[in-house]
Structure 1
Amino acid sequence: MTDAAPVPPLPEILASARVVSLPLASRFRGVDVREAVLFEGPEGWTEFSPFVEYGDAEAATWLAAALDFGWMPQPAPVRNEVHVNATVPAVAAASVPSVLARYDGCRTAKVKVAEAGQTLADDVARVRAVREAMGPEGRVRLDANGAWNLDEAEHAIHALAEFDLEYVEQPCASVDELVELRRRVKYMGVPIAADESVRKADDPLAVARAGAADLLVVKAQPLGGVRRALEIVEAAGLPAVVSSALDTSVGLGMGVALAAALPHLDFDCGLGTASLFTTDVASPTLAPRAGVLPVGRVIPDPALLDENAASADRRDWWLARVTRCHALLEAGRA
C-alpha cells in the first residue's frame, strides 16, 4: 500500500483556498448548484468537494485525495488523452437530444435511472431516446445509484435490455444483492458495475472478492487519491471505469490523471461532466472535444474564480469543513 502523504499545515492549505459555486444546466443528483474548494499546492491546483450531506469522516478521505494531488508527484501517465462518456440526468425523453448536444463527439452515454419520484416507464422512454440519438454503434450504460431492490433491478434490466446495454452501474445497494442480481441477469448478457459498493465501503475490495461485479467504477476523490485508487484497481483484478463526482474542471483533472495512469482502460470514462455546468473555473473548461479529454493539470482562471465565488456564509462553511477534516487527517497520521 502507498504510504500516506504528509499532511501539509492548515495555514498553507487555506492560504490559496477559493470556494466556488457552479450552477448546473439540469438538476443532477438532487442539486442545482455544485460547490467546491480549490487550493494550490506545490504540484498544482487541486479540489476538495465532498457532497454536503457527507459526514466529516467520509469527507476527510476526499481531503486526503486533494492534498495528495496538490502536494505529491503523481503516477506517470501511459496515455495522453482519455475517451469519455456523455452523462444524461433523469430528464424527460424529449430533453435527451439537447443534453447530448453538450458533449462533443462522445460515443458513449451514461443514463441516470431509478430517480426518486419517477417510474420505470420514464426510464424506458429516456433510455430509448438515448439509444435513438446515439444510433446502433453508440454505447449506452445505465446508473441506478443503488436505488432498486433486487426484484426491481431484475425487472428493470429485463425491460431495458432491448437497448443493448454496455453495463448497469450499481443497480442495488448491497454487495449481497449485486451477487444475486448478477446471477439472475447473466443470461441477458448485461454486465454489472459497482460504484458505491467500492467508494463508500469500509472495504473497497469486498465487492471483487464476492464476485458481485464485472467491473469497477472508481473515483479519485472518494478513494483517497490517484495513487490509492490505482492500488484498489490492481488488487481487485477487474476492469475499471474512472468517473467523476460532479467535479469542477480542476477536480476532473485529478480523474483524468487516474484514467491516464491505469495500465488498461477498456471503457470510456465518466469524466465529461463539466458539460453539465453552465460555467466553470477554467477557460477553456475541461469538457470533451471529439469525445476525449487531454491529460494534464488544469489551472483555474482568476476571473472565473471571482465570478463564481460562493457567498460569504458558504465560504465560511466550507473552510470550517476543511479545518475539521484536516484535524482528522492529522490525528490519523499521529
Structure 2
Amino acid sequence: MTPLPPLPEIRSTVRVVSLPLATRFRGVEHREAALIEGPEGWAEFSPFVEYRDDEAATWLSAALDFAYVAQPAPLRAEIPVNATMPAVPAERVPDVLARYDGCRTVKVKVAEAGQSLADEIARVRAVRAAMGPEGRIRIDANGGWNVDEAEHAAHALAEFDLEYLEQPCATVDELAELRERLHRWDLPIAADESVRKAQDPLAVARAEAADLIVVKAQPLGGVRRALEIVAEAGLPAVVSSALDTSIGLSQGAALAAALPSLEFDCGLGTASLLAADVVADPLVPRGGAIPVGRIAPDPALLDAHAAPADRRDWWMARIQRCHAVLESRGAV
C-alpha cells in the first residue's frame, strides 16, 4: 500500500479545467476535470459530478497513484483505439467519424433516453456504410435495456456484424441470462459498469455473465489495481476512458500498455470528442492509435480553460472529502 500524500501538498498543485465538447455527450457540453501534479508527473481526477464521494475517492486514489508512484513497465509503445459515436442522428455520423484518423473500430452509443430502436439502427447503419465491410462495430447501451429489449435489439442489429455488445443490461444476472439467450448467435457480451461500479468487480466473471471486460484506470483505482482485476477475471480486456483530458488518457494508455495481451482496440480515442484540451499535442488518434508515455499540460491552455472560481471551489472541496475517505481506508 502507498502512503497517502498530505492534502495541502495535493491542493497546492491542483488545476481545475472546463473543456468544451465538440459533440454533446452524457448530456453535457463541457467536461470538467481536476489535474494533479506529483513526483512522477501529472494525473487526472475527473469522476462525473453525480458520483458520490465514496465512489469518487477511488478515482482520486488512481490519480494519486499515477502522480506519485512509478507505473508498470509498458509492453507496447502505442495503443490502437476505437472511435466513439455519441447518440447523434444518422446524418451526423460522417462528421463525427472524420475526427478519428485511421480508426478501424467504432463504438456506437445506444439505448439513449428519448430515442427509439429505429433511431439506433439508423445510426449503426450509417456507421457501417462509412466504415465498409472491414470496419468493426461495437455498441454500448450503458445498462439501458432489460433482457428482452437487449435480445430484440441484438437481433435487429445482427445484419451489421457487431463485434460485441457492451453492458446491454444493468445487472450481472441480466447479463448472464442474455449471454445464454445469445449463445447460438456467437455475439459476445462485454461488461463495463458491472466491473467498474461494482462492489465486487469479479462477480461478473464468476457468474460467467460476460465474454470480456472493459476496464478504466480511474474508476478502478489505478493502473496496478486494474491489472490485478484483469488477471483475476481471466477474461480478455478492453481499456477505455471516461471522456478524459489527454492527461487522463495517458493514464489509460499506461494501463493498456502494461496488459500482457491486448486483443481489442481500446476506447482511448475520446480526446476527439473535445473541442479543446490541456496539452499542445492532444492524444487524438493518428493512424488509429495513440502513443504511450507521460505528458504534461500546457500552462497557457490551463489558464485559457480554467474553470470558474465557484467550480474550482467545488472540485477542491470534493478532493478534500475524497481525501478524507482515503484516509479512513488507510492508504492510496
TM class, shorter-length:
over 0.9
Deviations 1:166-203 (CA, angstroms, capped at 9, x unpaired) = 00100000000000000111111110000000000000
Deviation for aligned residue 1:254: 0.2
Q: 1:196 corresponds to which residue?
A: 193
1:140 to 133, 137, 142: 137
Q: What amino acid is the match of 1:131?
A: R
Where 2:114 maps in the other structure, the secondary structure is coil
Q: Distance between the aligned counterparts of 2:65 and 2:15, measured in 1?
A: 18
Q: What amino acid is the match of 2:8?
A: P
Q: Distance between the aligned counterparts of 1:261 and 1:167, measured in 2?
A: 23
Deviation for aligned residue 1:265: 0.2
Mapped pair 1:158 → 2:136: no
Deviation for aligned residue 1:94: 0.2
Mapped pair 1:67 → 2:67: no
Q: What amino acid is the match of 1:74?
A: Q
Mapped pair 1:181 → 2:178: yes
Mapped pair 1:131 → 2:132: no
Q: Distance between the aligned counterparts of 2:26 and 2:130, measured in 1?
A: 23
Q: What amino acid is the match of 1:195?
A: D
Mapped pair 1:217 → 2:214: yes
Question: TM-score, normalising length from structure 2?
Answer: 0.99
Q: 1:30 corresponds to which residue?
A: 27
Where 1:304 maps in the other structure, the secondary structure is helix
Q: 1:283 corresponds to which residue?
A: 280
Where 2:94 maps in the other structure, the secondary structure is helix
**Superposition map of 1:62-141 within 5 A:** 62-141=59-138
Q: 1:172 corresponds to which residue?
A: 169
Question: TM-score, normalising length from structure 1?
Answer: 0.98
**Superposition map of 1:178-327 within 5 A:** 178-327=175-324
Percent identity of the aligned residues?
A: 75
Where 2:157 maps in the other structure, the secondary structure is helix
Counting matched residue pairs gives 331
Where 2:174 maps in the other structure, the secondary structure is helix
Q: What amino acid is the match of 2:148?
A: D
Deviation for aligned residue 1:8: 0.2
Deviation for aligned residue 1:161: 1.3
Q: Distance between the aligned counterparts of 1:271 and 1:288, measured in 2?
A: 9
Deviation for aligned residue 1:331: 1.4
Q: Distance between the aligned counterparts of 1:95 and 1:23, measured in 2?
A: 19
Q: Distance between the aligned counterparts of 1:27 and 1:188, measured in 2?
A: 34
Mapped pair 1:7 → 2:10: no
Alignment RMSD, CA only? 0.6
Where 1:148 maps in the other structure, the secondary structure is coil
Deviation for aligned residue 1:39: 1.2
Q: Distance between the aligned counterparts of 2:272 and 2:20, measured in 1?
A: 11
Q: What amino acid is the match of 1:145?
A: N
Deviations 1:46-70 (CA, angstroms, capped at 9, x unpaired) = 0000000000000000000000000
Q: What amino acid is the match of 1:52?
A: V
Where 2:79 maps in the other structure, the secondary structure is strand
Q: 2:42 corresponds to which residue?
A: 45
Q: Distance between the aligned counterparts of 1:6 and 1:203, measured in 2?
A: 24
Q: Distance between the aligned counterparts of 1:274 and 1:174, measured in 2?
A: 29
Where 2:124 maps in the other structure, the secondary structure is helix
Where 1:40 maps in the other structure, the secondary structure is strand
Deviations 1:17-39 (CA, angstroms, capped at 9, x unpaired) = 00000111111111111100001
